[in-house]
Amino acid sequence: MATVQVSEAEKVYILHGIRDDLRVDGRGCEDYRHMEIETDVVSNTDGSAKVTLGHTVVLVGIKTEIGKPRPMLPDEGYLEFFVDCSANATPEFEGRGGEELGTELSNTLYKVFNNKHSVDLKSLCISAGEHCWVLYVDVLLLQCDGNLYDAISVAIKAALFNTKIPRVHISADEEGGKEIELSDDPYDCMRLNVENMPCIVTLCKVGHRHVVDATLQEKACSVASLIIAVTHKGTVTCARKVGGGSLDPESIFEMTEAGKRVGKALHAPLMKLLQQEESLGKTQQKVGFLG
C-alpha cells in the first residue's frame, strides 16, 4: 500500500486535531473528501465509472460475457474481480509491486459484492446450468491518496448501475439444441438493480477516535482500521479488520455504529446523483480524463 513517511511532530499534530474533531484538511471525523463521479467513461465496456475522491482516482470497467454457471449455483451468474494497480498511481506498484495489494483488494471485493444479497445474481442466469452472464469487474487504480476501499466500492456501484447487458433470448429447435439469439437493437438491454449493493466504509482508529476517509498521512498515524460494507438500509453485510494494531470490542462497536451512519448517508446522494446523470442521456457532457 502506498505509504508516506510522517514525522513524530506531524503525528502529534494530526492526533491532536482528530481528538478535537478537526482534521488537517478542515474536515470533521465523519466527513468525506470531495468526491466526483462520472459514468460511461470507457465506450468499449458495458458499464464504467470513474471516481475521484480527494486525489484518489479509480476507474472501474465492467465487461459482460456469456459463461457457464458455477456447478453449485446453476441458476446464478457471477462476478469476477480484478484490480490492476497501475504504476501511474505510485512508483511502488511498478513491476509486480501492486500485485499483492491487488489480490487483497479483489478478495475483499469478492466477499462484499459476489453474493445474491448484494446483486441479483439470478437475473444474470440465461439458461440454468448452461449459460449465464459473467460480469468481469476490472478496477484500475490511477492515483492513490488513501481510502481505496471506499472509492472502489462507490465506483463499482456506479459502474454496475451504468452496466447495460445485451438482451438475449434462447431459442430451442426440435432436437433440443439451444441457440442464443441476440437482439439487433443496441438499446435493447438489461439493467442491474443496484439498490441493495453495499458501499464500503473504512474507519481508521487514530488515537482514541476514528475517522472515515483517511488521507495517507492519517493512515500513517493509525494502528488499525475496520472495513465495513453497509447497505442503504444501514445493514452491515461484511466487516474486516486490517492493520497491525489491536482494537478493543468497545471501539469496534463504536466504529461499526459510526460506519452504519456514514454508509447510510453516503448511499442516498450517490443514488440521486447516478439517476440524475442517467436522465441526461445523450446530452450528457463527457468530462473524461482530461477534464
Total length of the chain: 291
> What's the min distance (Å) between Cβ of 162 and another protein?
13
28 binds another protein (CB under 8 A): no
Encoded one letter per residue, x for contact with another protein by CB under 8 A and - for no contact, window 123-152 reads -------------x-x-x------------
Give Cα 13 to chain centroid, integer Å: 31
CA atoms within 13 A on the CB side of 185: 5
Q: Which three cell numbers stand for residue 262?
A: 456514514
Encoded one letter per residue, x for contact with another protein by CB under 8 A and - for no contact, window 261-290 reads ---------------------x-----xxx
175 binds another protein (CB under 8 A): yes
Rounded Cα distance between 134 and 82, Å, is 13
- Which range in 31-39, 44-52, 144-152, 240-248 contacts another protein by CB under 8 A? 44-52
Q: Which is nearer to another protein, 163 or 237 (CB)?
A: 163
Query: Which one of residues 39, 52, 56, 64 is an interface residue with another protein (CB under 8 A)?
Result: 64
- Backbone dihedral angles phi then psi of residue 18, each to the nearest 5 degrees: -65, -35
- Say which residues have a Cβ less than 8 Å from residue 253's Cβ, sequence separation at least 6: none
Bridge partner residues of 79 (DSSP):
135
Taking Cα atoms as reference points, which of 26, 32, 20, 54 lies closest to residue 142?
Answer: 54
- Binding residues for another protein, rule CB under 8 A, total 34
Site residues for another protein, 69-128, by CB under 8 A, read 80, 82, 84
